Chains A and B, each alone.
Chain A
Amino acid sequence: MQTHIIIITLLALLAFSYFTGRKRSIATASLSKGRYNLHSRPQYYGMMVVLWAGLPALLILFLWTAFDSTVVSALTVSQLPEDVQALSEGKLSLFMNEVKNIVDSGNVSDDTNKQIAAEHYKRLSEISLLAKTVVVFVIAVLIILVALRSIKPTLQARNHVERVMTWLMIACASIAILTTVGIVFSVIFEAIQFFKAVPVTEFLFGTHWSPQTAIRADQVGGSGSFGAIPLFVGTLLISLIALTIAVPLGLMSAIYLSEYASARFRAFAKPMLEILAGIPTVVYGFFAALTVAPFIRSFGESIGLEPSSESALAAGIVMGVMIIPFVSSLSDDVISAVPQAMRDGSYGMGATKSETITQVVIPAALPGIVGGVLLAASRAIGETMIVVMAAGLAANLTVNPLEAVTTVTVQIVTLLTGDQEFDSPKTLAAFALGLGLFMVTLILNIISLHVVRKYREQYD
């Protein structure tokens, strides 16, 4: 049976068991003293049966499906001839890929080893599927029978159901933690592999980045150097350009909207600003590459400069505009949180509105604004599509905004979208970069969230 057929059949079985459980509770109740003596309402008995049987069955089905191919592959490998097993890890995974291709396509391979392995793989997959079907349904049916038998008027079905519900909710809430753990582990494992091949110091302090490694030992060309300084500098340069655009514009917009604008203008202008935040980044990237970059190039040439066609400036400007609504909405929140009494005090001393804002409101709101700017910075550093499409691939170590630079995110995308083997330093470098990116943005986020929270408490 295919997995989705198993799921559909299982769901049908569970639906049936729900009605059976419900009916049975009513039946047992009327046998004794009438249905008002049931501890819980009848549907809870049905639900209890469904939850007790459905959750374990679905869990087993899910885990089995998730680890199926890994286990079957490992079993197939263990049956391979010695000389094939002795292959390096990369070649072995290549071998297994071909074996899987043979199984999927149904072709016959010339290589007897592969053919035998493919047949073995196929047989094991079939056994696994059959076993999965049997195990899932046996467990489901057994639990349903036990649960149905246990139904009697004194059974506290509602409490059972609610206990399961609570645990289900806890599990859902814990997915956030699982995600973080998953991110950390997935980047750390590969990054450690990478740092075995390339020393940490070279990665952090090297000034030359050219990840092209020779695939065969006898090949001339890329020796592969992994000094990430040019990427860090490029990322910082573009983020800095973005922030010099976004912070003044966003902050002034927020000040105008919260302090000067009429309610009607505010109701119109705020959603308009939010539109900028809702446009997909790939659209910004397209605009940066197609319109802004050529404009900067022709403008630069007209005043005697020679901007590269993929300049850091184009990507930075567009990214800056993208995060304007981000800065403005966060600043708007903190500015509105400044108590009116502080403004009134300032007006009472004869200060004008702008003096009140620059000398009272902004200093009072500063921690919150800084927190917002840090969040915006973390967004700028992690932004991918704009830089992939508008900034270059060339890892130049420069702070000239008219030249092409590359960023951490661009390199992650380039390293992982081509042909890849999981164990070459080239692919692993992407995970090391990802680790760096995750750590930096995490630290920025924690600091800014902390600052913002502290600030809110101050005026609450």
Chain B
Amino acid sequence: MSTHNTDKIKAKLKKRYAKERRFRAYGIASLAISFLFLLTLMVNIFSTGLPAFQQSYIKLDIHIDAEVLGVTKASDREALFSANYSKLVKGTLKEMFPDAKTRKEKRARNKLVSNSASYDLRDHVIENPELIGTTQSFWFLAKDDVDVYMKGKIDRNLPEDDRRIKDFQLTWIDQLQEEGRLEKRFNTTFFTSGDSREPEQAGIKGALIGSLLTMLVTMALSFPIGVLAAVYLEEFAPQNNRWVDIIEININNLAAVPSIVFGLLGLAVFIALFGVPRSAPLVGGLVLTLMTLPTIIIASRAAIKSVPPSIREAALGLGASKVQTTFGHVVPLAMPGILTGSIIGMAQALGETAPLLMIGMVAFVADVPQGILDPATVMPVQIYLWSDSPERAFTERTSAAIMVLLAFLVVMNFIAVMLRKKFERKW
């Protein structure tokens, strides 16, 4: 009888231990799934994005023909500016590839280089009018289709109808490559120009400056307001006061309100009521301020709370007033924690998109914004806009822009962690 029972228990124990192992395995598996997803996401973004840091250029030997341009070396700036440079570029291409017969082929020939080629040429000639009449070599941006092919994204073994680059274009590209006139270089355009409808001319400078201006507004407003609010709630607010309770509940709620609702607020209050210009970093910064305030307040309160009462008592005992104690001793000691929380709040704001769509920061802005009242866009919105574009070349640029954005976020979070590590105090 007793052996029977022991066997039963042993058998059950085995089952229970198996269950225990399974449970543990579930835990590991769920962590593994999360990490696997993170890994896939990163690998995906990086593998699509890395080629965007290179760009194909085509070398053309252009005879700067005074007759075609209708100018002379002595012409004034305006005449040089309005001359027809694209005719020169097209003429050079025609000499190089005379075999284009149909209209379609001719158009494709002109689209080997980007349409920025004639502007580059113009700027160069205006700078150096003495070059008129000579033959010069220029490296021009290749058109996005050529660039995508150069990066191996178009398989030339596919049937001709299935690819963007046709057979006759391939022979031209091969010829250019043989002559050493087509090569990939570091893509400086990506960092030095604003948005463009042409993928090869599009860059993130405008969005970066827009993000910077927006973040400046956000920081200038949310940091002082957040810290002062936290100081009040933690140090000065009367206990068990109805008003203070309402403020606290409000802050906790605002931290969880969907960001898009802040966009509605910005549209209805800042733009419609106060007449702040749409699409401007100012209104974006205001909306993001309201959004990041709860984060900063909550983090600052925690930091202030962790300063031991002995510090306050010592200061008060030496005759400092409440305000002097707080701002002379408590806040400086809590500053590392406050800064950490603020940086994390700013990182959130930097990655935020939805509310900015509501206030018109989604408009196509080619110019780099000069101030907080100029129309601008920000990095995440630029990513959203590019991800919507059908051109293949924009897909890799989207990923590249994501990489730049992630790099900024990593740096900000790294600084926050460092601050915490370096200045964290155990009282």
Residues of A within 8 A of B (CB): 66-70, 158, 161-162, 165-166, 168-170, 172-177, 179-180, 182-183, 186-187, 189-190, 248-250, 252-253, 255-257, 260, 269, 272-273, 275-276, 278-287, 289-291, 321, 324-325, 352-355, 357-358, 375, 378-379, 381-385, 388-389, 409, 412-413, 416-417, 422, 430-431, 434, 437-438, 441-442, 445-446, 449
Contacts and interface: CB of A to CB of B under 8 A. Distances in A.
Given A162-B323, A172-B229, A186-B269, A273 B258 contact: no
B30 A449 contact: no
A434 B260 contact: yes
Contact of B30 (A253, A272, A358, A389): A253
A118 B19 CA distance: 80
Nearest to A431: B264
Interface string B8-37: 000000001101100110111111011101
A66 B229 CA distance: 23
Interface centre among A278, A430, A438 (most CB of B within 10 A): A278
Nearest to B222: A175
Given A375-B256, A441-B258, A255 B273 contact: no
A384 B290 CA distance: 18
B interface SS class: helix
A441 B256 contact: yes
Given A183-B257, A286-B398, A272 B45 contact: no
A445 B261 CA distance: 15
A176 B264 contact: no
Given A186-B269, A272-B38, 13 more contacts: A166-B236, A169-B232, A176-B254, A187-B261, A286-B383, A352-B19, A358-B23, A379-B256, A382-B261, A383-B258, A416-B264, A437-B260, A441-B261
Given A256-B30, A321-B37, A68 B275 contact: yes
Contacts of A187: 261, 264, 268
B269 A441 contact: no
B258 A162 contact: no
Interface string B207-243: 0000000000000000011101101110011000000
B44 interface: yes
Interface stretch (B106-114, B155-163, B198-206, B352-360): B352-360
A186 B20 CA distance: 54
Contacts of B192: none
Of the listed residues B20, B232, B251, the one surrounded by the most CB atoms of chain A closer than 10 A to its CB is B232
Nearest to A166: B236
B197 to A, nearest CB: 18
Given A172-B228, A256-B24, A256-B30, A276 B38 contact: yes
B93 interface: no
B406 interface: yes
A249 B34 CA distance: 8
A176 B261 contact: no
B323 A437 contact: no
B405 interface: yes
Nearest to A67: B274
Contacts of B381: 282
Nearest to A354: B23
Interface in B164-190: none
Contacts of B229: 169, 172-173, 175-176
B63 to A, nearest CB: 41
Please indicate which of the listed interface residues B30, B352, B399 has the most CB atoms of chain A within 10 Å of its own CB: B30
B194 interface: no
B252 A253 contact: no
A278 B249 CA distance: 25
A241 to B, nearest CB: 15
A341 B249 CA distance: 33
Interface residues of B, number: 86
For the complex of A and B, the 4 pairs showing the least CB-CB separation, nearest first, are A382-B258, A256-B27, A280-B351, A186-B268
B321 interface: yes
A11 to B, nearest CB: 13
A158 B321 contact: yes
Contacts of B259: 382, 384
Contacts of A291: 40, 44
Contacts of A285: 384, 387
A180 B27 contact: no
Nearest to A179: B290
Nearest to A441: B258
B5 interface: no
Contacts of A182: 265, 269
Interface string B34-64: 1101101100110010000000000000000
B79 interface: no
Nearest to B395: A290
Given A378-B256, A446-B253, A179 B265 contact: yes
A258 B408 CA distance: 31
Contact of B274 (A66, A253, A279, A321): A66
A352 B15 CA distance: 11
B267 interface: yes
Contact of A282 (B256, B258, B297, B384): B384
B247 A445 contact: no
23 contacts: A70-B275, A169-B236, A172-B224, A176-B251, A177-B250, A179-B265, A250-B30, A256-B24, A256-B27, A256-B30, A256-B31, A257-B31, A272-B34, A272-B38, A282-B353, A284-B41, A354-B20, A384-B258, A384-B354, A434-B261, A442-B253, A445-B256, A449-B253
A168 B353 CA distance: 31
Contacts of A353: 20, 23
B409 interface: yes
Given A158-B321, A174-B247, A434-B264, A385 B236 contact: no
B65 to A, nearest CB: 39
Contacts of B358: 412-413, 416-417
